[in-house]
Amino acid sequence: MTEMPKEKKKKSNNDDLAFKAEFKYSSSKNPYNDRLQVFDQFVLQDEQGESHQGKWSQEVFNNELPLEVEIGSGYGHFMIEHTQKDTGHNFIGLDHRFKRSFHLAKKLAKLEHKNFRYLRARGERLSFLFGESELTNVYYFFPDPWPKARHHKKRLFQKKFLDELYKVLKPGGLMFIKTDHDGYFEWMLDELKGEKRFSLEIKTFDLREEFPSHFLASFQTKFEKIFLEKQIKIKAMVLKSLKK
């Protein structure tokens, strides 16, 4: 019997899929998936967060305070400092790494003000997690830069993301960005070319030199500390939604 040639398996681009409705998380095999459940009072995993789309303040926080999101909270330096200092907002931190999320959840459990939730989830799901004009601020600090050209498609900040961001930010809502990486920063500026839905409130290739008193210069995340020690200049921008 002649053997049929095996069909070449088409590689699925999971990063691209994550922007789409049909995307499904497949987390059950990760050992930290179960361990994170100990923190289910404030940690939501996979699609769980998406069930509160458009209703976070009423369903989850039981108040009408403005809602903020940090994409890629990592070790939580910003999330912890910011939520404990500013109790006038509801705050969602999210990251897609399991082990890092587990270690952060242990720290979050000890905090006094529980004005936050943590999502073990992906930033690409922004418009599935949040409703139209639900967010006041989005924070995105030291994102993975995906420096190789063949990986650029994995960069979160791209046209599709800007569409999602525009949906979920309220009129005048802001996105705050810091990065060490020249290439990713220039990529972001390129993606913003011709963009009529946002204004660039600030754009700097050296945050601490140009804007030493700006809110963005008032704290250091874990990764930022490492880059500053290496004397790498911090690139930053603030986008404002021009939605009416």
Ligand X SMILES: C[S@@+](CC[C@H](N)C(=O)[O-])C[C@H]1O[C@@H](n2cnc3c(N)ncnc32)[C@H](O)[C@@H]1O
Question: What residues are annotated to the active site?
Answer: 144
Is residue 135 within 8 A of residue 168, CB to CB? The reply is yes
Q: Is 81 helix (H, G, I), strand (E, B) or coil?
A: helix
Q: Does 82 bind ligand X (CB under 6 A)?
A: no
Helices 77-85 and 98-108 pack at an angle, to 10 degrees, of 30
Residues 31, 85: Cα–Cα separation, whole Å = 33
Q: Which of 90, 127, 221, 241 binds ligand X (CB under 6 A)?
A: 221
Smallest distance, ligand X to C-beta of residue 191, A: 15
Q: Which of 124, 128, 173, 175 binds ligand X (CB under 6 A)?
A: 124
Smallest distance, ligand X to C-beta of residue 158, A: 11
Buried b / exposed e along 44-60 (16+ C-beta atoms within 10 A): bbbeebbebbeebbeeb
Q: Does 74 bind ligand X (CB under 6 A)?
A: yes
Which is closer to ligand X, CB of 156 or CB of 192?
A: 156
Q: Does 49 bind ligand X (CB under 6 A)?
A: no
Q: Which residues bind ligand X (CB under 6 A)?
A: 71-75, 77, 94-97, 100, 122-124, 141-144, 156, 221-224
